Amino acid sequence: MAERRRIAVVPGDGIGKEVIAEGRALLVELDRAMSLGLELVDKDWGADRYLETGRGMPEDALDDLRDNYDAVYFGALGDDRIPDMAHGREILLGMRFGLDLWANVRPVKVLDPALCPLKDKGPDDVDMVIFRENTEDLYVAVGGTFKEGTPDEVAVDQSVNSRKGVERIVRHAFDYAQKTGRKKVTMSDKSNAVRYGGGLWQRVFQEVQKDFPDIAADHLFVDVAAMEMVRAPERFDVVVCNNLFGDILSDLGAALIGSLGLAASGNIHPGRIGLFEPVHGSAPDIAGQGVANPMAAFLTAAMMLEFLEVQPAADAIRQAVQGAIEQRQVTPDLGGQGTTQSVSAHVREACLAIVAG
Ligand SMILES: NC(=O)c1ccc[n+]([C@@H]2O[C@H](COP(=O)([O-])OP(=O)(O)OC[C@H]3O[C@@H](n4cnc5c(N)ncnc54)[C@H](O)[C@@H]3O)[C@@H](O)[C@H]2O)c1
């Protein structure tokens, strides 16, 4: 009997619903074929529920997740009827902060040189993993406004950086490099201008690197890092930075691999429940048209299965996605004519063929 792995499935809004339905179907088939012990529990957390009940998720949702689940498989939130994203703050930021999922992990790997917008760059050049601190910095909502609504209005957001918060993400990036055979960790900050938070990141980075003598430690100011990711992406291996810079650099990373529809991410706190989500949002411009690229959701499922320690299933998904790209079984964002369903059916069949040997 396989170990039980309990997963909350939260499609959310817009294309989140479309791509997570396909990812869920893939997980069900893989579970049937490989006896992974997956138990998928569907959650209707999102805009519809928020508009009907005034809450995006049940009040005890975080306790329930913490006590009874191993992972969350999440789609996207975003609905024109809730312009201030109140439900997004409650559900997604609620889970990231409430479950203390302090590491946001975003792999950036080109799967096909034809998809990379950079001239003469391919899978060997663009292959990095970005570790974004996920619970501090400007996202903690510490601040306020003064003389709001007047010509003298002032708005202040404070960037919060704790030694504990910085050290655990920096150490995690080095640990990851060591475990996966990567050679270099680049820390990116703006310590030349942002004195106190930047200074803390610098000190912690210099301390932690001493514990990893086999891993090269590198530093770039974030403005230079953005330039270098485009000019010479091959110089990056593992990247670690604060919440805001990680948010921006990882979207740049998504552009380097060819589409947001290929970018996967995990929000983790080692030893606890993890939350896995495609990087993209609810894409209202294409929602309901059946053309959303499901590959980010598949690669997200692969990250989740790796986290749940079923590596062969994760490998099979990645191989099947790679095959579909090589055979041009892709949606319009990657220049193809496939639909969400046709691409998903292709990947699902390929994946099952791979695991059947
Ligand atoms: N994690 C999240 O839930 C999350 C992340 C980003 C944005 N959002 C929300 O999503 C809504 C839309 O935001 P946005 O338009 O800035 O970002 P978005 O990621 O939804 O879309 C950006 C562009 O990329 C395209 N795109 C995204 N995913 C795609 C896919 N799988 N296949 C093909 N094309 C894809 C979209 O069609 C759009 O043109 C907003 O409400 C925003 O707040 C949510």
Structure tokens at 20: 């997570």
Comparing C-alpha atoms, which of 227, 262, 231, 235 is closest to residue 118? 231
Between vectors from CA 70 to CA 66 and to CA 73, what angle results, nearest 5°? 100
Instruction: Supply the pLDDT for residue 105.
Output: 97
Instruction: Supply the pLDDT for residue 357.
Output: 86
Question: Do 1-102+269-357 and 108-259 have matching folds?
Answer: yes
Burial of 85 (0-12, 13-18, 19+ CB in 10 A): middle
260 C-alpha to ligand 1 centroid (Å): 8
Q: pLDDT band for position 2 (50/70/90)?
A: low
Structure tokens at 24: 């869920």
**Nearest residue by C-alpha to atom 38 in ligand 1:** 283
Instruction: Supply the pLDDT for residue 1.
Output: 44
Domain residue ranges in the chain: 1-102+269-357, 108-259
- 277: β partners: 265
Q: Is the dihedral of CA 276, 277, 278, 279 positive or negative?
A: negative
- Verdict on whether the full-model pTM lies above 0.85: yes
What's 341's DSSP letter? Answer: H
Q: Ligand 1: which atom is nearest the Cα of residue 79?
A: 41
Q: How far is CA 124 from the centre of its chain?
A: 21
**Nearest residue by C-alpha to atom 22 in ligand 1:** 283
CA distance 338 to 332: 7
CB 239 within 8 A of CB 131: yes
80 C-alpha to ligand 1 centroid (Å): 12
Q: Which segments of 138-198 are extended strands (E)?
A: 143-146, 154-157, 184-189
Q: pLDDT band for position 3 (50/70/90)?
A: confident
Structure tokens at 145: 């406004």
Give the tens place of pLDDT for each residue, 19-58. 999 999 999 999 999 999 999 999 999 999 999 999 999 9
Give the tens place of pLDDT for each residue, 65-112. 999 999 999 999 999 999 999 999 899 989 999 999 999 999 999 999
For domain 108-259, the CATH architecture is: 3-Layer(aba) Sandwich (3.40)
Give the tens place of pLDDT for each residue, 282-336. 999 999 999 999 999 999 999 999 999 999 999 999 999 999 999 999 999 999 9
CB 58 within 8 A of CB 24: no
Give the tens place of pLDDT for each residue, 120-166. 999 999 999 999 999 999 999 899 999 999 999 999 999 999 999 99
Average pLDDT over residues 177-186: 97
For residue 238, the surrounding DSSP H or E stretch is: strand 238-241
Please name the fold of domain 1-102+269-357: Isopropylmalate Dehydrogenase (3.40.718)
CB 98 within 8 A of CB 272: no
Between vectors from CA 34 to CA 32 and to CA 36, what angle results, nearest 5°? 85
Point out the residues that are catalytic: 139, 190, 223, 247, 251
Give the tens place of pLDDT for each residue, 196-232. 999 999 999 999 999 999 999 999 999 999 999 999 9
